[in-house]
Every structure is written in structure tokens, then in C-alpha cells.
Amino acid sequence: MAIPCPNFIASEKAAMEAGLLLPSSSLSQLILTQDDLKKIAAYKAVEYVESGMVLGLGTGSTAKHAVDRIGELLRQGKLKDIVGIPTSTKTHEQALSLGIPLSDLDSHPVVDLAIDGADEVDPYLNLVKGRGGSLLREKMVEGACKKFVVIVDESKLVNYIGGSGLAMPVEVIQFCWKFTASRLQKLFEESGCVAKLRTLGEKGEPYVTDNGNYIIDLYFKQSIGDLKAASDSILQIAGVVEHGMFIDMATTVIVAGELGLTVKDK
């Protein structure tokens, strides 16, 4: 997706730092791809980072840009004494390659700031996360942070959770996963729910999370209503580890779109 942006009103600083704009150029000359929008939002989010912080490092294509930027600022000496807590093995490897010092929640149970992407954002800043498979560790880290900044492009905005028609993931243990999937589907049958095991490759092997679990993706045709009630019902099913609804967790959402950056605060 390439977007011509004649009226793009994001700060030129963010676009320049993201390598999308030269000092002699104009924002009106930009043709932005979806990935460009993600990068601009990520660089804006990193402006919240200060030296000495314990940071939750998100997972996914948008969060990757933020982690890259944090590593760059550390190399430049513009940030110091940062401690990162990664939300996946993939982010752990990325951060190590960038020289970002890492730790965990056992050593740092309070996180100053977490930056991550989202798969859906509703009008109340509730999220769907986990289509990349890291929802459990993301929820653990981001649930321990003082400030949670979410970065998305405008395609992720929905009227209600599940409104994109794409997956709302639920992490489940491998034991009797079909039984668990059937209970999840029945739980939301009034919303037209279809539950599918996430698979990989031509052979359709089950996707296995960093925690050794499977993911059941739920697809809804209608709103599931009260999210907190839905959350409680999902978590009461034996075999469920965690779900991908992040309710009342985001403190700030940065949205990059055709008309620029929008910053939404809780």
C-alpha cells in the first residue's frame, strides 16, 4: 500500500529521523507505504523514552522499528542506562544484536515504559494483539508498565474488537486443544464465532509459541459485547493460558495515517 500524502502533518522531525525525508525535501513530496507509516509512528513513540528507563520491548513489524531506533540512540549516546525487557525470543535476539542491555520481570518487576504495536484498536483504546504469536509475554510485560505506548497505522482502527474480521488469538495448552477450541467457539456462537488452530507451512503443522503452547484464532462476525465479561469467560476455560484482548491497558496510542500522526491518550 502506497499513500500519497499532500496534507501529511506529522512532525518533519519524525519523518527525517525515520530516513523518509531529506532536509531539502517537503512532506508533501512523500509517497508513504504502510511500513513507512509504521516507522514514523515508532520513531514518535521512542520520543517518550528517557535515559535510565526500564523498557518493555514489543514484538512485530511495527515494534521492530522502535527497537531499532532505541538501539540507534544508544549507539549515538543520546540514550544511556537503558534496560530492555523483550516480549519474545525474536525481540530478544534483535535487541542483543543492537547492543541493548536486557533483563526480565524477575529482576525488574516495574517497567517504566513499554512500546508495542497492535492488531486492532477500538475507540476506547482496547486492543487485539498476538497475531504474531507473542501475546502472553506481551501481556505480562505490558501489564507491569507505568506507561504503555501503542503504535499503529490507521488500518488497525476498528469500531469494535474483532471488527476487522481477522483473528483474535487465544493461547492454549497442547493437551486436548480441539476440546478447548470447541468450548471457545461455543462461548461466542451468538457472535458467529469460528475457532481455528493456527498452523504453519504447507503441511499445516501447528504453530507453537515461545512458551510451547498452541494458538486458537477466533473469528467473529459480530461484536462480542462486554469485553471484560468476555475476558473472564475465556480465562475460566480450563486449557486456556491467555487471550489477545488487551483491555484498559494502553495509555497512549499513536496512529500514523494519510493526514499525519494522531496521538490518543487514555
Given the C-alpha cell 481455528, which residue does it identify? Answer: 196
Place of cell 456462537: 189
pLDDT band at 5 (very low <50, low <70, confident <90, very high): very low
- CA proximity to 71, closest of 82, 87, 59, 56: 82
| Nearest alpha carbon to residue 118 among 147, 142, 94, 85 | 142
- pLDDT exceeding 70 applies to what percent of the chain? 89
pLDDT digits (tens, 9 = 90+) for 135-162: 999 999 999 999 999 999 999 999 999 9
How long, in residues, is the chain?
266
Say which of 17, 120, 138, 142 is annotated catalytic: 138
Closest CA to 107 of 74, 90, 85, 134: 85
pLDDT at site 19 = 62
> Buried b / exposed e across 60-94, counting CB within 10 Å, b at 16+?
bebbbbbbbbbbebbeeeebeebbbbbbbebbbeb
What pTM was computed for the model? 0.89
* All domains in the chain, ordered by first residue: 2-158+248-256 (3.40.50.1360), 168-243 (3.30.70.260)
| Average pLDDT for 35-42 | 91
Query: Residue 2's pLDDT band (boundaries 50, 70, 90)?
Result: very low
pLDDT given for residue 257 in this prediction: 87
Supply the DSSP symbol for 165.
S
> Tens digits of per-residue pLDDT, 213-225?
999 999 999 999 9
Q: Report the chain's mean pLDDT, rounded to a whole number.
A: 91
202 is catalytic: no
Taking the CA atoms of the chain, what radius of gyration do you get in angstroms? 19
Neighbour-count burial for 212-246, b at 16+ CB within 10 Å, e otherwise: ebbbbbbbbeeebeebeebbebbeeeebbbbbbbb
> What does the pLDDT look like over 174-215, one tens digit per residue?
999 999 999 999 999 999 999 999 999 888 999 999 999 999
